[in-house]
Every structure is written in C-alpha cells, then in structure tokens.
Amino acid sequence: MLTLLETLKAENHLSELNYQFAKMIAHKQQAYNYNEQQQNLAILLAALLSYHVMQGHTALRLDSNSAQSFFGLEHKKLGRDFQSEILQKIGGISPFEWQDILHEHIAFSHSPMQIAPMLFQHGLLYFYRYWQAEHNIARYLQQAVEFPEEFENTDLDKQILFELFPEKTTEIDWQKIAVATALRQRFCVISGGPGTGKTTTVAKLLVALQARQYRQQKSALNIALVAPTGKAAARLKESISNSFEKMQLTFEIPTYASTIHRLLGVRPNSDTPTYHVKNPLHLDLLVVDEASMIDLSLMEKLMNALKPSTRLIILGDKDQLASVEAGAIMGELGEFVQLGYSSVHCEYLYKVTGYSLSEQSNVLPICDTLCHLQKSHRFSEHSGIGQLAALVNQQKENESWRIFTKSQTDLVCIKYPSTTQFAEKRQWVQHCVNLVVEKAVEHYQVYLKLVQQRVSNPNKISANEIFEAFQKVRFLSALRVSELGSERLNQNIAEALKKARLLNFAFSRDSYAGKPILITQNSPQNNIYSGDIGIILPDEHNQLRVYFDTKVENTHLSLSLSRLPEHEVAYVMTVHKSQGSEFEHTFFIMPLNSAPVITKELIYTAVTRAKQTFTLFSEEKVWKIGVRANVQRQSGLQEQLKNMFS
C-alpha cells in the first residue's frame, strides 16, 4: 500500500504531508502483529483522512461513497486504475467494515475516552484533535443556547424595537426579527447575502442591548468587535461607525474592531493564545463578522475564551465559501435556518415586533438563535448582479449563463474562444491570458498614473487617493496555480504594465512604486495581519515604503520594506483571499478547464464581491459545471448538536 501511495504522491494526487503521515503509521504498526489487510487499511485511512482534512473536511464519512472516491481520482483521466488497485490491497471490503477490522489497531480509537491519532465516531473517522475541537464547539453552543436569561422583559424590548424600527410594515422586517432574536438569546447567528444590512442590523442590536442596560439602571456592556482579517475588521468598524452617525446616539458604543487573532492574543509558534478557557476574555458581548471565513480550530479557540455569561453574535453569509482550513461552521449552522422557530420564540417575536411567524414543531433549541436576512438593499430586483447571485446560489446553471446575454448594464461576459480557432493549444491559452491581461492594463492604469504623479512629487498625490482608485477594481481568479491562476497572471500583468510604461522595475519580484501586495502572515507587533492590502509608494523623502489600506487615526498605516512580513503580489487575488472585501468592479477569471474546487459557493462569493459591475472571463461548459457543483464538507457538528439537544 505504501508503494502505491508513493506513486500517487509522485504523480501529485496526494501531498507529501499525506504520504508522510501514512508512512509514520506504517512504521509504528510494524511492532504489532496485524495481518496484511489491517496494515494496508490503516495506511490507506491515514493518507485518506489527511487528504480529506486538507480539502477542508473535519472528518471522513464512512459510507458507500468512501470506496468510490480515493484522493479525488474519479475526477482525473488516468492511464492506470489506481482505484481498483487500492480496493484490491484492502480486500475489497466495504467502508462499513473498516471500523471493525481496525478495532484493535494502535492508531485508531473507538471512544473519546481513549486517545489515539485517529478516532471512529458515529460513522465518521476523525483526527482526534479535530473531533475534540468539534465537540467543544457543540458543547459551547448547547450551553450558550440553554443559558437562561435573568428575566424576559417583553414590554421594554418592544419599546426599544419600536424606537429603532418605527415604521410598521406588512412585509416582515427580518432586521427587526434579528435584533429581537438577539435580545432574547445569549447566542445568535445573523446570516445574509450582500446588501441585506448585516452590519446595520448589528449596529441597531448594539444600541438595543446598551439601551436596555441603561433603562434597567445597569452598567454599560463591555463590547468587542472582531473579524478574521484586518481588512474585514476595518470594514466592520467603518460600517458600524457610519450606521451610528445616522442614528445620532445619546450614549457611547465602541466601534473599534480588531482581528480575532489580536483579540485572543494568538502567538507565533504557540497553540495556546493569551485568552483561553482558564483565562477568559472580560467581555459582556462579542460580535464576530465574516464568520464563514473562520475555520474549526480558530472557532474553538474563540469559544473557549468566552465566559458562560458573554453574549456572542455571529455575522456572515451562510452561502459563501467556507474557510480555507478545515471546517464550515457558518454553513452548518445556517442549514438549521430552514427548520423555522419554536412556538415559544414565535410568541415572543409576535409580542415585541408584531410579526406573526409560522411556528414549527420539534425544532432544535438552536433554531431559535438564528436569523437569515432576506431582502437586499444594495441590489434592486432589476439588478443583474443580484439576480446572478441568486441563480448561482440556486444552482441554475442555464439561467445563470443566459443572464449575461440579456441587457444587464452591470454584467459583462468575455467568453474564451473555441480551441478550433487556433492551430495549437498554446496559442489558444496565450490568447485567453491576453484577454485578461489587456483588461487589467486598461483598468489599473488609473491608479498607476496617480502613482507616477506621486513619484514625481511625493507631496502632490496622497496615499488615500491612490487607494481609492486601486480599490475600485480587482481581478479575482478561481485558481492559484494554472494558466489563468493568480500566480501566473500576476507575473503577466506586471510585465504588461511595465511594457505600457506604467511601471518601472528590472525584475517583477523586485520592490517598485505601484506594486500592490497582499499580506499572508500575521505581524501583530506592526499591526499588520494576513489579508491586509498594501501598495509600495515613495514617502515624502522619496524612499519606498508600503502603505496599507488600514488606517490609524485617518492616516494610512505604513511600514519600511525591511519590516514586511510574508506577502505576495496582488494584481490578481484568489476568490478565497478576497473574502471580506468588496469592489466597485470585480473581474472574475474562470479556468480553461473545470476543477473540483470550482463550485457554486466559490462562484457566488466572486459574484458578491462586486458592488456595481461584474465581469466574467469564462467558457460556457466550465461555468455550468461549476454552478452545478457544491461544497459538501464532511463533519459531525450537526449530528453532535442534534444528539445534545435531543
């Protein structure tokens, strides 16, 4: 089995890490008297589980599909039947028998009380650490949902809600429902697509909770606002500050937002942050934005650091891409939304909002903590972007492609030509690359001309003017590595901008005026975090520095080149790394061929980065395959919650 896995590694079907973990298990089991089938199965499952976790799953589900899909081989055109060879090595046994065969194996546990590298639980195979994290999250949610309010004051809640939502509408105001839900619950998830008013809702929620404290003659709540990245935190702060300005508050509510890592005191090379279960944060209320970006491990750290009495409000879009690392907490919790509310919660909502919602029987208690905002205030019913996002989300591949042919002013599709128009494949590939590069040169010249003026006279053009121009447009790629992946396109675009005399450098990897960068490593000592965007510009002394989109007291944060943490060039970003950002004009670059990572969640996320115009580079077949595919991350969180609440 190990030789077979080594061949798969050599052909890039599994990673070095997947192989090395399997090799370690193979070495450890030699001291025991396992038969050949047990040894081969243990080696296979070690590699397979490692592979699945790298794909974002927190566990491997042991069902009939498990034996039909080893390492994604079924999606690849291969000259060798690896699938059959693997099955032959383990004797063709069904996944339903795997646990029994490895019942006595040293590397596998069958009870959480017995610690081993891997754990079988409820038809799933976990790394023990991932099961523990998932269990801790489920336990936190159970306790948070069942934590009783001191008392329910419906009259006061109704009065506060009336002041915040004075207009009585026949159509259900889901923002009002969300605020009412959060007033009643210590844990609340508010989901919504772009423009549905998540941060506006939270601003009103903060006012409602603080107002209730004052009217009950209690001390003000100690509040913190966080997001997964520096960019998302800055947007949260800006959005809530703008909402408060419109509301003309008579009392103070904090608007400062930080990253989750900074709040927790996550330290390099340490798995234990400053704040944890034995040293919790001294907070009454924590608001977490862009929750879809938060992986299992970070969510566990966050929940471990909260006192039982701390309110937790989670914001996000349940339909967006899940985190890069393993886990899809927001998406999994979001699935409970469709189950509706209990009769008790519906009765409370009717008393305080006047809206009558249909009650559901036998719903889990966690359902009463969720609210999905359904009305977009950014996109009208005639908006092409809004319609496209909805069609993609509903996996309507034909309608979503056809909408580009309609007279939508905010949607543009640049189709890749057929390969038959070219004598050689490389000519076709180069033509498609040129389509993207030409548009990038056309649109990036606006900010680069401002950069050139600053180079001539550093005091003439401010960093703020340059950022405003740069942030209006962004090119997003579906893949990192391919002919149309972000890595290669960044090189091609830089060279094309140099050829157009908009940039000046010897080598594209050099530091030069106008180069945009994306931070990929947290640097808390410099107030710089992964996901932050910077542009290299001359300072007032004509020395190159990196200026960041992050502002401190209305001034762009800057750093000398020598102090820069790990980063990459950012003319083109992957869709994953664009989460938490929005741009007036978003260009989305699909690959020339379909790939397993191209799913409706990825496409939906790309579409919803656009505020005014969305331009697509794609071929019809690849688009439709992507819209049809959806992410189904394997996990046991929902099962654990159902068991705990039953």
Place of tokens 């039909």: 68
Burial level of 54, CB count in 10 A (0-12/13-18/19+)?
middle
Q: Are 191 and 371 in contact (CB under 8 A)?
A: yes
Tell which residue, 111, 9, 134, 114, has the closest CA to residue 59: 134
3-state helix, strand, coil in the chain (%, to 5): 45, 15, 40
Pairing of strands 187-192, 311-316: parallel
485 annotated as belonging to a binding site for a ligand: no
58 annotated as belonging to a binding site for a ligand: no
192 annotated as belonging to a binding site for a ligand: yes
The pair phi, psi for residue 155, each rounded to 5°, is -65, -45
554 phi-psi bin (left φ>0, alpha ψ -120 to 50, beta other): left
Long-range (24+ apart) CB contacts under 8 A made by 237-245 are 239/199, 239/200, 239/203, 240/199, 240/202, 240/203, 240/206, 243/199, 243/200, 243/203, 243/204, 244/203, 244/207
409 annotated as belonging to a binding site for a ligand: no
In sequence order, the β-bridge partners of residue 370 are 189
Report how far Cα 182 is from the mean position of its chain's Cα atoms.
23
619 phi-psi bin (left φ>0, alpha ψ -120 to 50, beta other): beta
Q: What is the four-CA torsion angle of 256, 262, 264, 266, rounded to 10 degrees? A: 180
534 annotated as belonging to a binding site for a ligand: no
Q: How distant, in Å, are the alpha carbons of 109, 243, 449, 503 from that of 543?
A: 59, 38, 19, 16
Q: How distant, in Å, are the alpha carbons of 85, 195, 391, 601, 624 from that of 400?
A: 40, 20, 5, 14, 8
Q: Are 518 and 469 in contact (CB under 8 A)?
A: no
- Rounded Cα distance between 89 and 337, Å, is 44
CA angle 353–207–555, rounded 5-degree value: 140
Q: Are 159 and 211 in contact (CB under 8 A)?
A: no
CA angle 225–226–227, rounded 5-degree value: 145
334 annotated as belonging to a binding site for a ligand: no
- Rounded Cα distance between 108 and 586, Å, is 47
169 annotated as belonging to a binding site for a ligand: no
- Rounded Cα distance between 122 and 284, Å, is 36
- Rounded Cα distance between 136 and 327, Å, is 14
Element (H, E) at 144: helix 128-146
Q: How distant, in Å, are the alpha carbons of 140, 225, 272, 280 from that of 277?
A: 11, 20, 10, 6
Per DSSP, 418 falls in state P
Q: For the chain, what is the total number of helices (H) and then of strands (E)?
A: 23, 20
Q: Which residues are annotated as a binding site?
A: 192-199
The binding site for ATP consists of 192-199
